[in-house]
Amino acid sequence: MFYSLLFKTPRVLLTVALTTVSLAGLSSEVRAQRTAAAERPTDFLEPAFHRQRRELLRQALPARSVAVFFAAPVRNRANDVDFIYHQNPDFYYLTGYTEPHAVLVLFKEPQTIGGQSGITEALFTQPRDPQRESWTGRRMGSDGAKQQLQLQYTADNKAFPEAGIKWADFSQVLFLDLPTDVRDDTRDPADLYNLVADFRRQAGVPADYNPAVGELRSLIQRYGATNSANLLPYLEMQSKAQPAVAADPYIQAYRQATTDADRQKAIANKAAAGRYDGSTLGSVLDGMREIKTPEEIKLLRRAIQISTTGQQEVMKALRPDMSENAVQGIHEYVYRTYGAEFEGYPSIVGAGANGCILHYETNDKPRLGNDLILMDCGAEYHGYSADVTRTAPPSGKFSPAQRQIYELVLAAQDAAFKECKPGSEFQAPHKAALQVITDGLLKLGLIKDATEVRKYFTHGTSHYLGLDVHDRGTYQPLQPGVVITVEPGIYIPANSPCDPKWWNIGVRIEDDILITKTGYENLSAGAPRTVADIESLMAKSSALDNFKLPNLK
């Protein structure tokens, strides 16, 4: 699944070395954390993993600060039916909690909360409710969260307003983007809508607080002294686009400073910057989530192995008379069979012209025919998402034109792989792939000038992979433990300014790459990449060859 990198800021320098903190009782093994529910999988991340993540983040907080995190909202699908709930990945990363209507509070210094002293972390959860649980499933409740997730302090969410948190005592109040499009369940006085409202009221967050302004203030504080040449043009652009930015005295004082000394004074005026910070936590989490732990890599391997098995089984079953929906169904059947709870993103299954639509998700072409089919699909296993793309000919054989484009994309991917090593710039794989595709398109006559390459290769080559398919990261040089995608592609829609023999050929090849100490490991190598390997696999029998559904009248 491709990613377009528009604007990313450098890594936040954490106040702790993330890879060297040692916590008592931390194990590298993955164990069950949901022991209360019977007959559930036993390889979830253990509570010690989440506890270590919380402690690392807490150590990175500024003095006399508090950090607040909210669970993801419930999303309505239609009438009285909601979408299957999916937790905010940051919230899950820090807690392991998978239910809605919850808030996590981390304190830099120990506090007295709910009458208990020495508290550095507090989780407020939705309460047990046997009647509602009989309709919508088991709830953990605060006691279950205490026992199973092993947080220091837990309470029902209705206790959040009366917990005794002394918001006025904190010099800084840090949070991620506050949910704004949340339904108010009038039957529940402590739902997410009310939790956010209670936080805003008690912490004194101004009604007109603008997260974009907060992010720009944070950028000034972090990079204003060392990178003003790049920061000032960006501030100028944002000031023209957003009245709130243009009216902010802190941002404008920095913009109007004419000397380094004046800029330092503007940066240091923390009173003007305010005590509410909606961006620093995101930057800290970028640095933490970028480097995967052994526990996370184990789950990613499983998600990717499931996804590559799906690609293999689909290739063996492909026929020209199949539909895009049927191909999607095989992928997702394989995922569920091997225990993946979800897809990491909506499956992209596009044949012919549809393969030239980058995020095509309709998947309703009734017959594939002899067009190439592009399959960008990934299983999500215990929260961690794979992202694997293969392109194959339903007939079992590439045509000459299809093969030429495919092998050009393959050569570009091979060139990108060579840049996947510690110390390489994040954009190095893309630059290598872009050069190969540019040269190849010139040689094939699809373009006449190198500047035209973006007609047919329109996206970036890599993004981070983890709890999000487009995961958090700093976009700094690659390090061991980073997992990225490498996914060059060429897309030639009908009526493109080239020979019609190329029209409606769309090819993307995407693999999931773990950066190691000495180079890289292709975690998705199980799915065939070369023309010879794809055609060889497609010639094999499929477990679905004799699976025939009755015709519907």
Report pLDDT digits (tens) over 305-348.
Answer: 999 999 999 999 999 999 999 999 999 999 999 999 999 999 99
Per-residue confidence (pLDDT) for residue 2, from 0 to 100:
64
Supply φ then ψ for residue 404, to 5 degrees: -65, -45
Nearest partner of 176 among 275, 263, 94, 283, judged by Cα: 283
Per-residue confidence (pLDDT) for residue 39, from 0 to 100:
76
Per-residue confidence (pLDDT) for residue 424, from 0 to 100:
98
Per-residue confidence (pLDDT) for residue 11, from 0 to 100:
36
Per-residue confidence (pLDDT) for residue 4, from 0 to 100:
52
Nearest partner of 215 among 126, 306, 137, 276, judged by Cα: 276
Per-residue confidence (pLDDT) for residue 409, from 0 to 100:
98
Task: Report how far apart, in Å, the C-alpha atoms of 492 and of each of 362, 417, 431, 497, 547 are.
Answer: 19, 24, 21, 9, 35
* Domain over 47-203 is classified CATH 3.40.350.10: yes
Distance CA 29, CA 27 (A): 5
Indicate where the chain has its CATH 3.40.350.10 domain(s). 47-203
What angle do helix axes 228-241 and 211-223 make, rounded to 10 degrees? Answer: 170
Per-residue confidence (pLDDT) for residue 271, from 0 to 100:
65
Q: Compute the CA torsion angle 363, 367, 371, 377 (nearest 10 deg).
A: 30
Q: Give the number of residues written for the chain.
A: 553
Helices (H), 47-179: 47-60, 89-95, 130-136, 141-148
**Long-range contacts at 164-168 (CB < 8 A, ≥ 24 apart):** 164/112, 164/113, 164/114, 164/115, 165/66, 165/105, 165/111, 165/113, 165/122, 165/202, 166/111, 167/66, 167/202, 167/203, 167/204, 168/204
Distance CA 106, CA 110 (A): 9
Indicate where the chain has its CATH 3.90.230.10 domain(s). 291-539
pLDDT, tens digit (0-9, with 9 covering 90-100), for 25-56? 333 333 333 444 557 899 999 999 999 999 99
DSSP assignment, residue 482?
B
Per-residue confidence (pLDDT) for residue 211, from 0 to 100:
82
The matching CATH number, chosen from 1.20.120.1760, 1.10.132.20, 3.90.230.10, 2.60.120.1440, for 291-539 is 3.90.230.10
Helices (H), 85-137: 89-95, 130-136
Kindly report the pTM of this predicted structure: 0.90
Write down the residue that tokens 């773990």 correspond to: 514
Q: Which residues of the chain have pLDDT under 70?
A: 2-38, 270-273
